[in-house]
Amino acid sequence: MKRFMMVALALYLTQQTTRAADISVIENETPDHPALILIKGPFLKDEGQKDIGKFMGLVAARKKPPVVFLEGPGGVAWTGLQIGRLVRRYGCLTAVADNTQCTSACALAWLGGKERYMGANARIGFHAASVTDNSDASASANAVIGAYLHEVGITDFNAIIYLTKAGPQSITWLNLSDAIRYRISVKAFSPTQERWSWTRSALGSAPRRHGESIEAMSESKPKFP
pLDDT digits (tens, 9 = 90+) for 202-214: 998 554 443 333 3
pTM value surpassing 0.85: no
Could you give the count of Cα atoms lying within 13 Å of 129 in the half-sphere of its Cβ? 33
DSSP assignment, residue 112?
T
What end-to-end distance do the CA atoms of the chain give, in Å?
Answer: 20
CB distance 187 to 133 below 8 Å = no
**Gap between the Cα atoms of 114 and 101, Å rounded:** 20
Question: Which domain CATH number covers 176?
Answer: 3.90.226.10
Domain span at 166: 2-218
Assess if residue 183 is contained within a domain: yes
Q: SS3 for 166?
A: coil
DSSP per position, 66-88: PEEEEEB--B-HHHHHHHHHHHH
**Gap between the Cα atoms of 101 and 103, Å rounded:** 7
Q: Mean pLDDT for the chain?
A: 82
Assess if residue 225 is contained within a domain: no
Assess if residue 223 is contained within a domain: no
- Check whether 215 has a pLDDT greater than 70: no
**Gap between the Cα atoms of 187 and 172, Å rounded:** 18
DSSP assignment, residue 95?
E
**Gap between the Cα atoms of 108 and 135, Å rounded:** 22
Sign of the dihedral defined by the CA atoms of residues 54, 212, 27, 118, in that order: negative
pLDDT digits (tens, 9 = 90+) for 163-185: 999 888 899 999 999 999 999 99
Assess if residue 209 is contained within a domain: yes
Assess if residue 202 is contained within a domain: yes
Count of the separate structural domains present in the chain: 1
- Check whether 2 has a pLDDT greater than 90: no
pLDDT digits (tens, 9 = 90+) for 155-168: 999 999 999 998 88
Assess if residue 180 is contained within a domain: yes
CB distance 168 to 224 below 8 Å = yes
